[in-house]
Structure 1
Amino acid sequence: MAEDPAKRSAIMRAVKSRDTSPEKAVRALLRGFAPYYRLHREDVPGKPDIAYVGRKRAIFVHGCFWHGHDCARGARTPKTNADYWRGKIARNRARDIAHQEKLASIGWRALIVWECELKDRAALEARLREFLA
């Protein structure tokens, strides 16, 4: 049965771009060993979710679906409007790569934390510690 377009629109409007649950979980991990980060700095290319300006480190917390991760959640394609979603996710990926390249060109290091990585918090914490060392 086809879904009501108005209902789908309302669901999509409710999707947040900042202060998401995965982002809050990463921030909670960081508070334990690397506080003093800044959020959504517009003066840093890509407006990273978490930025350590003095260290020139940017952390992006990506939803697996929205950014086309190669995990089970990221690999699925919606059945309705599939061409639109393939294009949308491809544009997101291209934009992410452009942001990474821009950051590297000005001497910043960037880390992408995927939503699915939150399942193993110990491994994620070790990865964050290594990135910020």
Structure 2
Amino acid sequence: MADIVTAEVRSRMMSGIRGTNTKPELLLRKGLHALGFRFRLHDRSLPGKPDIVLPRYKAVIFAHGCFWHGHDCHLFKWPSTRPEFWQAKIARNRAVDARTDAALSEAGWRQAIVWECAFKGKTRLPLEDVIQSCAEWLKSDRPRLEIRGG
């Protein structure tokens, strides 16, 4: 299926997508803050510049977009235009995620990934459940948490 907008318009639209302060990230931050958690944002000194850093718990949280990180859910669909470019781009993003994961683990940081599909789409979870799962994980000693749409 051909794109319904011109290449220039599509390029402008894609370049306007933010990497920080996304809606899922803001929802997580607001919910965790309301429960009393205090954190730093986008710490450049850590590998991958995690979205939320909780030094007290030696934990980081990433709010991953399903498209940009190639998640295997209903929100991810390979673009039909320039497939070689997008396959290389998503593969590169996945490789960076793997390197970040390894570096953070080696440094002793616990990691959580909350996928975009947990917040939107037909498999979304109640926001309270996502926040509560993150809070319980932070208080535990489990090294990893992954929350994806139901």
Normalising by the smaller structure, the TM-score range is: over 0.9
Taking structure 1 as the reference length, the TM-score comes to: 0.92
Moved more, 102-111 or 123-132: 123-132
Counterpart of 1:132 in structure 2 is 138
> Structure 2 matches for 1:106-125, cutoff 5 A?
106-118=107-119, 119-120=124-125, 121-125=127-131
CA shift for structure 1 position 126 = 2.8
Gap runs ≥5 in structure 1? none
Q: Quote the residue 1:93 is aligned against.
A: 94
Distance of aligned partners of 1:67 and 1:34 in 2 relative to their CA distance in 1, 3 Å threshold: farther
Distance in 2, Cα, partners of 1:34 & 1:87: 41
Greater helix share, structure number? 1
Out of 26, 33, 49, the position equivalent to 1:47 is 49
Equivalent pairs, count: 132
Q: What is the Cα deviation at residue 35 of structure 1?
A: 2.6
- Compute the TM-score of the two structures, normalised by the length of structure 2: 0.82
Aligned-partner residue type, residue 71 of structure 1: C
Point out where structure 2 has 5 or more consecutive residues left out of the alignment: 140-150
Q: Once the two structures are aligned, what percentage of the paired residues are identical?
A: 39
Instruction: Compute the RMSD of aligned alpha carbons.
Output: 1.3
Q: List 4+ stretches of structure 1 deviating above 4 A.
A: none
| Matched residue type, 2:70 | G
Taking the TM superposition and a 5 Å limit, the aligned residue runs for 1:31-110 are: 31-74=33-76, 76-110=77-111
